[in-house]
Amino acid sequence: MSTTDIGLVDSTELHHIFESLMMFRIEGINVPGITVFCQGGRRKWLVTTKEFTIVVTGDTADFTGAYKLPLTSVANAGRPRAAAGSVAFTIADGMVTAASSLGTQTLPCSSVPMPKPQHVAANPARVTAQLAGKELLYTIFAGANPPFETNMIDDDDERKNPDHFLLRVEDGQLHVSSDWTGSRLYPIRAHTPATTTGAGQIKVNPDMLNIIYNCVDEDATWTLSFDSKESLDIVLESDTHYIIAKMVIAPVAKLHERVVKILEREKFEFQTTPGGPIGVRHEDVVIAFDFFQRADDDSPLVRMSTVVVSNANESAELLREINAHNQSGSITRLWFENSAVYLAIDTLPDNLMGLAQHLRMLSNVAGRLHGVLEPFAAEPALPPKRGTRRRSAKPQEQPEVWDNQ
């Protein structure tokens, strides 16, 4: 029987792991286990859920393989006053043993493939704020925690707590603010100096406070970062932690989730990527779903579009038919672009009840218009206007379901 020595884990490392797991337990979040592995000569502890990825980096270690341990094996070792010091972890015959000066605990575990923890790639739109843990904790809670007067108001009228708080980074400052006027209180703001790159702001789910409270070590230096243009996550990083939290209030991402649920409920054939475009195949018509955040409005929209005719010439007859369709009062819209004729319907979040109906309508109209427009698309193209340059055809990037048309 071979034995894998995970190493002697000190109380500081155990405490970091325990605090992370305790947050999930308090919130009632299902965590199937914690994975331990060795990378770069350091012990790594990985926890993943739908909204979080947490990697805790421990001391030096030298072992092969990756192992999923039950939470109890490390939570009991890391619980305050539990193990009274360091704990030696060994794995043999599908069991993990945690031995301390106070005793030994043995539980089942399993060998798993070596994980590849998610890591957010750097890009120019990503802004960062680096500061000490004490300043980070104070500023977050000073700007986002409920005011002290919460639940101290003798008023039976319904009060509304804010559904987000605001993080803003600019000019060497981290700003945190929240608006409690809906609870008959007041807006609060806090800021602190930080080493910053770029500038931007994001709306954050208040549940993010729990992970900051449980995971941020006040003695460490932390870097907070997010994408200022397409915010889908927040990253918190220190020497011992790498945390990706999908707690950003992104209207486009929420709309994407709602659309996916509708497509699943209606049993459409589709392919998608998280937060990205969706491809749907309905009655041999392939329809693209694209999501847009309008610059002049917080409300996003979803655009369903399909190619009616490809390899088309921009003829006078074709443009005449396109204009006639667009002026007919139909909720579908035609246009010519990159040697193709497109048909689309725009839908706002408030109108998602009709999404499936609109999808079927788009498919039917596209099928009918294909036969109408194809002869006109074959007519000679209009000569280019003097002094203008025609754009070269540029194929769209499409989900796999759009292939093999």
Instruction: Break the chain into its structural domains and give their ranges.
Output: 3-112, 126-234, 252-402
Copy the structure tokens of residue 260: 């996916």
Domains 126-234 and 252-402 equal at CATH topology level? no
- The class that CATH gives domain 3-112 is alpha beta
Query: What integer pLDDT is reported at residue 389 of this predicted model?
Result: 45
* DSSP state letters, 111-164: EEPPP----PPP-TTEEEEEEEHHHHHHHHHHHHSPPTTTT-----S-----S-
User: b/e string for 160-196 if b means 16 or more Cβ within 10 A?
Assistant: eebebbbbbbbeebbbbbbbbeebebeebebebebeb
Q: Residue 283: left if φ>0, alpha if ψ -120 to 50, beta else—which one?
A: left
CA dist 111 and 138 (Å) reads 41
Render pLDDT for 209-236 as a digit per residue (tens, 0 to 9). 988 998 999 999 999 999 877 777 899 9
The overall average pLDDT reported for the chain is: 87
Query: What integer pLDDT is reported at residue 56 of this predicted model?
Result: 95
Stated length of the chain: 405
**Residue 354: CB atoms within 10 Å:** 12
Copy the structure tokens of residue 290: 């694209």
Q: What architecture is the 126-234 domain classified under in CATH?
A: Roll (3.10)
- Banded model confidence at residue 312, pLDDT cuts 50, 70, 90: confident
Render pLDDT for 3-36 as a digit per residue (tens, 0 to 9). 999 999 998 999 899 988 888 888 788 888 999 9
- Closest by CA position to 259, among listed 355, 358, 332: 355
Query: What integer pLDDT is reported at residue 155 of this predicted model?
Result: 61
Query: What integer pLDDT is reported at residue 299 of this predicted model?
Result: 72
Q: Alpha carbon of 177 to those of 139, 149, 174, 210: distances in Å?
A: 9, 17, 10, 17
Is pLDDT above 60 for 264?
yes
Is pLDDT above 60 for 53?
yes
Is pLDDT above 50 for 395?
no
- Closest by CA position to 71, among listed 118, 36, 114: 36
CA dist 118 and 51 (Å) reads 12
- The class that CATH gives domain 252-402 is alpha beta
- Banded model confidence at residue 277, pLDDT cuts 50, 70, 90: confident
Query: What integer pLDDT is reported at residue 297 of this predicted model?
Result: 58
φ and ψ at residue 364, rounded to 5 degrees: -65, -45
Q: What type of residue sits at position 222?
A: W
Instruction: Find which of 103-112, 229-238, 251-260 is predicted with most confidence, using mean pLDDT.
Output: 103-112
Query: What integer pLDDT is reported at residue 333 of this predicted model?
Result: 93
